[in-house]
């Protein structure tokens, strides 16, 4: 029953909705952007207490092993209030990256620490501003007691505020294919690593990283499970982004629906105008399709289904297109107030606009979908 939430998943969804709307409403996002802090440590520790940091961590390492579906539900609900926390970068994507690595003392210890909320991690993979996931130029060469690392990463989310960066790299003579390579555990506070903040319109923490002549110990290099691992991590990141896009879109849509039922012009509620009704009805149909496709992709990745990559590309392409439609229409249907900073609608547009570019735009994912379908 992968397209309908189980009882446990429904309960998680309800408590997430309650938590985000009471503890982390959009006003919390506004407060954070006025302050120096990236996250609110207090709310994050509450999330850890709820078990959310350990949802994807295996049971034997202190996790809940609740699956990607559970994380997807949290990502959807969190996006509805623009919640800022290490949840998606650390508890979802970084944990997924470690899950797809071969077990080792370092890896297991880090997973346990992430589960317990004792540490936060960031995942650094992309090296270009256009989405080209196969390009990895960052190299790690054997050195005296370990490895020597050189390279750069582009626009890594939460890199500076993390305790550890999971950086993809390859050996000096390897070709540029996704299939070889490994993960390096990098301490962001060490010497030899440089950050350049990238301030994007969604006002989250991003930075370009350059790293040169950086030494790590032998056990700070982790091996991927198999050739498919990088793609699986990217698919996890991509489907989580699709979840967030769904959450942003749904929230913007529901707020707009409320507004058109309230606002009057020409002596009528503007929601009675057919020109708006038909567009809203169409958006509703797209949101229902998106919900289905996002659930399907979460379940496909969680169960490691054969068509998981196809399902993920489908979800991201539809999420991008639906978010584009719904969040721009939301601004339009609010009229002048829609383009003010005072109203939240524009914030949903800005967040969605960034997410649409992150992890691949629609053209990229339709092309991948076509290749995977044999055309």
Partner 1 sequence: MSDLDAFRLETRAWLEENCPESQRGPVTPDMVIWPGKNQTFPSDDARLWFERMRDKGWTCPDYPSEYAGGGLSRAEEAVLREEMQRLNCCPPLTDQGIGMLGPALLEFGTEQLKAEHIPKIARGELRWCQGYSEPGAGSDLASLQCKAEDKGDHFLINGTKIWTSYGVESDWIFCLVRTSNEGPKQEGITFILVDMETPGVKAKAIDLISGASEFAQVFFDDVKVPKTNVVGEIHKGWTVAKSLLKHERKMMSELSKGVLGGTAALPDVAKEYLGSTDDGEITEPLYRDAIAQYEMNMRAIGLTGYRTHQEALARKMDTNVPLIMKYLGTSELQIKDELLVDMMGLRGLGWKDEQFNESEQRATRELLFNKALTIAGGTNEIQLNIIAKRALGLPKGPHS
Site string for partner 1, 324-353 (x = CB under 8 A): ------------------------------
The region of 92-100, 163-171, 201-209, 273-281 touching partner 1 under the rule CB under 8 A is 273-281
Phi/psi for 62 (5° steps) reads: 90, 10
What are the Cα distances from residue 311, in Å, to 5, 71, 134, 290, 301? 18, 17, 20, 12, 8
Number of C-beta neighbours around residue 163 at 10 A: 17
Residue 212: in which H helix or E strand, if any? strand 206-217
Selected from 22, 35, 173, 274, the binder of partner 1 by CB under 8 A is 274
Residues 6+ apart with CB under 8 A from 144: none
**What residues from 241 to 270 belong to the interface with partner 1 (CB under 8 A)?**
257, 260-261, 268-269
What are 143's strand-pairing partners? 146
Q: DSSP assignment, residue 149? A: E
Q: DSSP assignment, residue 221? A: E
Tokens 């809940």 correspond to what residue?
Answer: 64
What are 221's strand-pairing partners? 184
Tokens 């800022």 correspond to what residue?
Answer: 84
Tokens 């032998």 correspond to what residue?
Answer: 218
Residues 6+ apart with CB under 8 A from 175: none
Selected from 17, 50, 280, 343, the binder of partner 1 by CB under 8 A is 280
C-beta of 195 vs 273, nearer to partner 1? 273
C-beta of 223 vs 361, nearer to partner 1? 361
Question: Does 318 engage in binding with partner 1 (CB under 8 A)?
Answer: yes
Instruction: Give the nearest distance from C-beta 278 to partner 1 in angstroms.
Output: 4
Question: Does 38 engage in binding with partner 1 (CB under 8 A)?
Answer: no
Selected from 133, 188, 271, 346, the binder of partner 1 by CB under 8 A is 271
Instruction: Give the nearest distance from C-beta 364 to partner 1 in angstroms.
Output: 11
Query: In whole angstroms, what is the distance from residue 12 CA to residue 29 CA?
Result: 22
**What residues from 285 to 314 belong to the interface with partner 1 (CB under 8 A)?**
285, 288-293, 295-296, 314
The region of 69-77, 132-140, 220-228, 279-287 touching partner 1 under the rule CB under 8 A is 279-287
Instruction: Give the nearest distance from C-beta 328 to partner 1 in angstroms.
Output: 19
Contact set with partner 1 (CB under 8 A): 1, 3-4, 257, 260-261, 268-269, 271-274, 277-278, 280-282, 284-285, 288-293, 295-296, 314, 317-318, 363, 366-367, 369-371, 373-375
């Amino acid at each position: 029953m992968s397209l309908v939430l189980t009882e446990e998943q429904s309960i998680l969804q309800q408590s997430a909705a309650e938590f985000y709307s009471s503890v982390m409403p959009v006003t919390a996002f506004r407060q954070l952007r006025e302050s120096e802090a990236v996250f609110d440590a207090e709310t994050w520790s509450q999330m850890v207490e709820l078990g959310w940091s350990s949802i994807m961590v295996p049971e034997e390492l202190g996790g809940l092993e609740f699956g990607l579906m559970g994380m997807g539900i949290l990502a959807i609900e969190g996006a509805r209030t623009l919640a800022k926390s290490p949840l998606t970068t650390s508890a979802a994507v970084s944990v997924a990256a470690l899950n797809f690595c071969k077990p080792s003392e370092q890896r297991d210890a880090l997973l346990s620490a992430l589960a317990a909320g004792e540490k936060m991690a960031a995942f650094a993979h992309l090296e270009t501003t256009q989405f080209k996931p196969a390009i990895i130029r960052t190299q790690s060469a054997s050195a005296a007691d370990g490895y020597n690392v050189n390279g750069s990463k582009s626009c890594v989310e939460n890199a500076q505020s993390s305790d550890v960066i999971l950086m993809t790299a390859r050996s000096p003579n390897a070709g540029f294919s996704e299939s070889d390579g490994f993960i390096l555990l990098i301490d962001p506070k060490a010497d030899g690593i440089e950050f350049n903040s990238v301030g994007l319109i969604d006002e989250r923490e991003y930075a370009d990283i350059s790293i040169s002549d950086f030494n790590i110990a032998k056990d700070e290099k982790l091996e991927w499970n198999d050739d498919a691992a990088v793609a699986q991590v990217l698919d996890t990141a991509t489907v989580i982004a699709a979840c967030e896009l769904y959450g942003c879109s749904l929230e913007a849509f529901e707020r707009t629906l409320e507004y058109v039922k309230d606002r009057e012009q020409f002596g009528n509620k503007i929601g009675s105008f057919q020109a708006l009704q038909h567009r809203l009805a169409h958006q509703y149909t797209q949101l229902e399709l998106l919900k289905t496709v996002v659930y399907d992709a979460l379940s496909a990745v969680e169960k490691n289904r054969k068509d998981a990559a196809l399902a993920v590309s489908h979800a991201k392409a539809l999420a991008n297109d639906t978010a584009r439609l719904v969040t721009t229409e939301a601004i339009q249907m609010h009229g002048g107030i829609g383009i003010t900073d005072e109203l939240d609608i524009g914030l949903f547009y800005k967040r969605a606009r960034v997410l649409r570019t992150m992890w691949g735009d629609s053209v990229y994912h339709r092309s991948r979908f076509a290749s995977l379908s044999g055309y």
